[in-house]
Amino acid sequence: MKIEFYKYQGTGNDFVILDNRDNKYDGLSVKQIKHLCDRRFGIGADGLMLLTKKEGYDFEMVYFNADGNESSMCGNGGRCLVKFAYHMGIHKNTYHFIATDGEHFADIAIDNGQTVRLKMKDVTEVDEHSTYAVLNTGSPHFVKFANNVKDIDVVETGREIRYSKEFKEQGINVNFVESVDEDGIFVRTYERGVEDETMSCGTGVTAAALMSAHNEKGFNRVEVQTPGGHLSVEFEKTDEEHFENIWLCGPAEFVFKGETEV
């Protein structure tokens, strides 16, 4: 099968995107998707997405991890897919699409056209422990605050947590977070499905930002630095475990397009 693909990235979190509005890629297998995401023998990406038609929405987002399996929500992927939809001629002031965790809204900044804002799902439950927190921002995340995050072996330590007895069956993404200043944090993430550190993780950045709220109630904006670049998260904190109007904001950029055979 000949595939026409597009490569996008958001703060270094990179994706293969296929226009599947005619359903021609519905039959892709786990093995084929894994091959396309392989950085040595394929195109190379943290994940693959299909832009698909869905009645009542501007489009549907179908997301696969680099291991070829369909996965939960990807924040940076969602922002990149919005930019891809725009480039495919779907022009909206506000985008309304459906993903595995429900409906989302998004917009593209008028000022430079690079910033894409994505509304994430509300968070209504946080499992807090003395040294870490677990919450779901569309995907499950383990958030641990630490010093000198740049020196942590994220792959080894993240893998130990991800494959620990508590999380092994379902898997979990592991985020190491360091406070930079009153409003800013630095985040590194080990992602399940990729089974490695990624340059950035949108749902992970969101989870880390929620746990870094500087206002106990009301509006918060947290600036987030990742190895791949800068993001920000805006949200309303209603109480200790409830967060609403969560927006993940940052760049989403076209890299290249091409054709390949699978």
Residues designated as active site? 74, 201
50 and 77 in contact (C-beta within 8 Å)?
no
- The three-class DSSP label of residue 127 is strand
- Closest CA relative to residue 45, chosen from 207, 255, 232, 261: 255
- For residue 181, give every residue at least 6 positions away whose Cβ sits within 8 Å of its Cβ, in sequence order, or none: none
Q: What is the DSSP letter of 10?
A: E
Find all residues with CB under 8 Å of 137, minimum gap 6, and list them: 73, 75, 120, 121, 123, 203, 204, 206, 207, 210, 246
Residue 62: strand, helix, or coil = strand
CA atoms of 31 and 48, how far apart (whole Å): 12
Cα–Cα nearest to 134, from 173, 182, 92: 173
Q: In terms of DSSP bridges, do strands 173-181 and 140-145 run parallel, antiparallel, or are they unpaired?
A: parallel
